[in-house]
Chains A and B, each alone.
Chain A
Amino acid sequence: KNEVEQSPQNLTAQEGEFITINCSYSVGISALHWLQQHPGGGIVSLFMLSSGKKKHGRLIATINIQEKHSSLHITASHPRDSAVYICAVGGTSYGKLTFGQGTILTVHP
């Protein structure tokens, strides 16, 4: 069993829909990261959080430390949100991250 599990693996939505991607982890963490990778593009950091909730534009990330679970929400989805979304958890050892498999999101106009 992977230490970081994401669901779903693939997600297709229509423009304007509300999207949720889930991440569960089984290890102790110092922070959880949500990353975005557009096709052929590099990886950018969307959120880093260790508790509660963060919001940036149409993106919201939440984390429940007790349940070892995080969600990434996208409100009013747009085709430019089409990308791979990756959940990663950081422990305390030199900043190493453990990554989920990623969720491929496709938003159709």
Chain B
Amino acid sequence: GAGVSQTPSNKVTEKGKYVELRCDPISGHTALYWYRQSLGQGPEFLIYFQGTGAADDSGLPNDRFFAVRPEGSVSTLKIQRTERGDSAVYLCASSLTARASGANVLTFGAGSRLTVL
């Protein structure tokens, strides 16, 4: 697609419920990133994928958070037993991969706003 698409744009759920957030990256982008942005804060790194595999998941806060990218394109961020502290905007970004992959620009989606009541 033309840009990074994230669904849903807004999700309200109750404490303890399970949530899935979807990201559809730019076609041809092999790197995909998840960040979390709380009010008044910068984006906090969660996980990034190179193709189908997680290249770095060191930012996932605990084992309630999990992400997959089974075919190397669309990714799903899964949050189990949601807590009020999980409320934030979850941002997805994608980039090309080249030899100097660290220099590639990340293109961000508009985000999925999660509210846990």
The reply to whether chain A is a binding partner of chain B is no
Report A's interface with B, CB cutoff 8 A: none
The interface of chain B, by Cβ under 8 A from chain A, is none
